[in-house]
Chain A
């Protein structure tokens, strides 16, 4: 009995030591996304992709002398800024060195101001596209692998200018996304010499958009620019415009890209066009290969951006030589951009080896990562046109 007690006591003494030892070589990365709320259908796949990048880093064995990365989940709810802040504070209490997130623009803004900046924690958002985040004060801590809608506004304006369209009417969904997008588009289009006859916001979830369409039709224009959602008011406005013959050609932002829209109205929308963020080429193919192999759904929205966000954090830590918030924040831009060896998804082990040998890398990743301005993705867009009731790629921009 005495021996047993002694043995138990000894084990009890040793155990915390053993735990401490394993903990010292494990670094926690927060994955802060809206696991409940309006985008809950997207976030599980985003989490899987971020975790996949960390697993890849761990399995390569090349990361900072055997240090391993561990993802820690937290839920922003997407709609409640105080819930997002509380979730991020919990992550800080858990000792994360960096955060992949948040997903929704509102959550990112709140977490950046209330948690990331006071604690000096870098964060890379895979899906916040609000233009407001480009100018938010961030002490060099906020990055995003999703492009700002301000960028898309420029791209869309360029598409119109290239087609020789000089006068359009604009309608946008009355929220942060629509308003920001519309402002960015208007500034870019007018800067290129185009004119906007009128700008009419529309509310989502209404049955009738004839009043909005009446105003738009009265103002006129060569085409109607619709910056809304394909399953919401955006579709209602297009339907009503087609019914009354107000406009024949529609120019659409990313929220309007949906197969369901074509199924319902495709036949009447012949010749309409628009832009949508799109990744193509080696990076996207390599990402599909590794997600298929790992049994992760990599086709869902923002999964590529999530993988890239987690990979960038790991590579920045490697470049800095230590897994600390300061080292990561200081090196993200460096590993993301040229010069250096281009790195595709699935090549993180190789990248870590190059960095260990003192070389340079240029992380390409699944979305052709190129961080510009205040640390956000330049983004590549697909310009499409509706032909024969189907989306047809015109070019990539």
Chain B
């Protein structure tokens, strides 16, 4: 019984939250890594692109709700998601035309593009706050739980409760579908192959007749979709606040770099590595150990390696270690 209690506690406080968080980071890191691989710069505006996409989705969700449209037990935001993606795609294509396109034409160094993306970041920052305000927005509706902690405790007779939120379930399932679709697209379709060719060797790709403008456009549309999906999933699971999304930029970049910039597989692995290590290192293991250890060995302390305030420090420590020993990341991305 104690073993089951320990497993349930571990699932409830570590495995489930970390898996959901890891999926969100992985989707965000995929967007960053695609831009890095194909357009060859680190897009610092990615966090705010996520915020913009989420905002657009929220506004449409509210519109749908006011018309009385709902998605049954699932959140209405999922219905609004395609519209949010379309609006965000228009936005990123617009910024590409106004800002990045010029720097590509003059063949500016990547660092110039990075600086331009910081400018875009600040502008988007302001736009999102102007439209929806700096406050907290909650837009999740439908059934809140797949497994409810109290109900689980009563049903199983265990001491520990197990909670599995609908939004966590949706996050994990959606992330799996999106990742599968993306890999199918990149590896199996003609357009996907041309994107990879362009990423591997730009000159060779141009010589073989690949249209660079088309590759750039499709990349931006995919990135808009990834950013919006990641943002909406994060907002559904937690809550939407522009500043939080700005802060998400740090763990997302850490994930992309740990996995290897430019490598989609690496972005996913990086997302989970960062999420799990953040939660594992800052979790107080007392509860789990108390269930497993014999009574005489019961721990008196909390068995916590680091205080939860050090969450961000964990991501950065991993980042530094990876850069020291494997500068190209776990999955052989481009060296940074």
Spell out A's residues near B (CB within 8 Å): 174, 198, 200-203, 205-208, 210-215, 217-220, 231, 236, 243-246, 264
Q: Name the prevailing secondary structure of the B interface residues.
A: helix
Distance (whole angstroms) from the CB of A134 to the closest CB of chain B: 27
Q: Cβ of B319 < 8 Å from any Cβ of A?
A: no
A246 to B302, alpha carbons, bound, how many Å?
A: 16
Decide yes or no: A219 and B284 within 8 Å by CB, A211-B311, A213-B13, A244-B13 being known contacts.
yes
Which listed residue (A198, A212, A215, A244) contacts B12, Cβ 8 A?
Answer: A244
Q: Is the CB of A244 within 8 A of B287?
A: no
A200 to B284, alpha carbons, bound, how many Å?
A: 11
Residues of B within 8 A of A236 (CB): 238-239
Q: Cβ of B264 < 8 Å from any Cβ of A?
A: no
Q: Is the CB of B14 within 8 A of A214?
A: yes
Decide yes or no: A198 and B161 within 8 Å by CB, A210-B279, A218-B287, A220-B287 being known contacts.
no
Q: Is the CB of B284 within 8 A of A218?
A: yes
Decide yes or no: A201 and B243 within 8 Å by CB, A211-B278, A211-B283, A214-B284 being known contacts.
no
Residues of A within 8 A of B150 (CB): 245
Q: Cβ of B93 < 8 Å from any Cβ of A?
A: no
A244 to B168, alpha carbons, bound, how many Å?
A: 12
Distance (whole angstroms) from the CB of B128 to the closest CB of chain A: 15
Q: Is the CB of B309 within 8 A of A245?
A: no
Decide yes or no: A215 and B136 within 8 Å by CB, A207-B238, A244-B163, A245-B150 being known contacts.
no
Which listed residue (A198, A201, A207, A212) contacts B241, Cβ 8 A?
Answer: A207
Residues of B within 8 A of A217 (CB): 9, 13, 287
Distance (whole angstroms) from the CB of A102 to the closest CB of chain B: 25
Jot down 11 A-B pairs with beta carbons below 8 A, ordered by A: A205-B244, A207-B241, A208-B17, A211-B17, A211-B282, A215-B302, A219-B302, A243-B145, A244-B12, A244-B161, A245-B149
Q: Cβ of B304 < 8 Å from any Cβ of A?
A: yes
A236 to B248, alpha carbons, bound, how many Å?
A: 17
Q: Is the CB of A218 within 8 A of B163?
A: no
Q: Is the CB of A205 within 8 A of B241?
A: yes
Residues of B within 8 A of A214 (CB): 13-14, 17, 279, 282-284
A210 to B307, alpha carbons, bound, how many Å?
A: 13
A205 to B279, alpha carbons, bound, how many Å?
A: 19
A338 to B25, alpha carbons, bound, how many Å?
A: 63
Q: Cβ of B191 < 8 Å from any Cβ of A?
A: no
Residues of A within 8 A of B308 (CB): 200, 202, 211-212, 215
Q: Cβ of B193 < 8 Å from any Cβ of A?
A: no
Which chain B residue has the least Cβ–Cβ distance from A198?
Answer: B302
Distance (whole angstroms) from the CB of B66 to the closest CB of chain A: 19
Residues of A within 8 A of B285 (CB): 218
Residues of A within 8 A of B145 (CB): 243
Which B residues from 21 to 36 make CB contacts under 8 A with A? 21
Q: Is the CB of A245 within 8 A of B278?
A: no
A208 to B241, alpha carbons, bound, how many Å?
A: 11
A312 to B237, alpha carbons, bound, how many Å?
A: 51
Q: Cβ of B104 < 8 Å from any Cβ of A?
A: no
Which listed residue (B13, B149, B309) contacts A201, Cβ 8 A?
Answer: B309
Decide yes or no: A245 and B279 within 8 Å by CB, A206-B244, A214-B284 being known contacts.
no
A198 to B238, alpha carbons, bound, how many Å?
A: 25
Distance (whole angstroms) from the CB of B235 to the closest CB of chain A: 8
The digit string for B75-97, where 1 denotes a CB below 8 A from any CB of A, is: 00000000000000000000000
A206 to B279, alpha carbons, bound, how many Å?
A: 15
Q: Is the CB of B279 within 8 A of A211?
A: yes
Which B residues from 279 to 307 make CB contacts under 8 A with A? 279, 282-288, 302, 304, 307
A168 to B241, alpha carbons, bound, how many Å?
A: 30
Decide yes or no: A207 and B239 within 8 Å by CB, A213-B13, A217-B13, A218-B283 being known contacts.
yes
Residues of B within 8 A of A244 (CB): 12-13, 17, 149, 161, 163
Q: Is the CB of A243 within 8 A of B165?
A: yes
Name the 3 nearest CB pairs between A and B, nearest first: A245-B149, A245-B161, A207-B238
Q: Cβ of B138 < 8 Å from any Cβ of A?
A: yes
A215 to B308, alpha carbons, bound, how many Å?
A: 8
A231 to B61, alpha carbons, bound, how many Å?
A: 22
Q: Is the CB of B238 within 8 A of A208?
A: yes
A202 to B13, alpha carbons, bound, how many Å?
A: 17
Residues of A within 8 A of B109 (CB): none
Residues of A within 8 A of B311 (CB): 211
Decide yes or no: A245 and B241 within 8 Å by CB, A210-B13, A214-B284 being known contacts.
no
Which B residues from 160 to 185 make CB contacts under 8 A with A? 161-163, 165
Q: Cβ of B247 < 8 Å from any Cβ of A?
A: yes
Which chain B residue has the least Cβ–Cβ distance from A232?
Answer: B136
Residues of B within 8 A of A246 (CB): 13
Residues of A within 8 A of B138 (CB): 264
The digit string for B221-249, where 1 denotes a CB below 8 A from any CB of A, is: 00000000000001000110101100110
A231 to B278, alpha carbons, bound, how many Å?
A: 25
A245 to B150, alpha carbons, bound, how many Å?
A: 7
Distance (whole angstroms) from the CB of A120 to the closest CB of chain B: 42
A208 to B233, alpha carbons, bound, how many Å?
A: 13
A30 to B9, alpha carbons, bound, how many Å?
A: 58
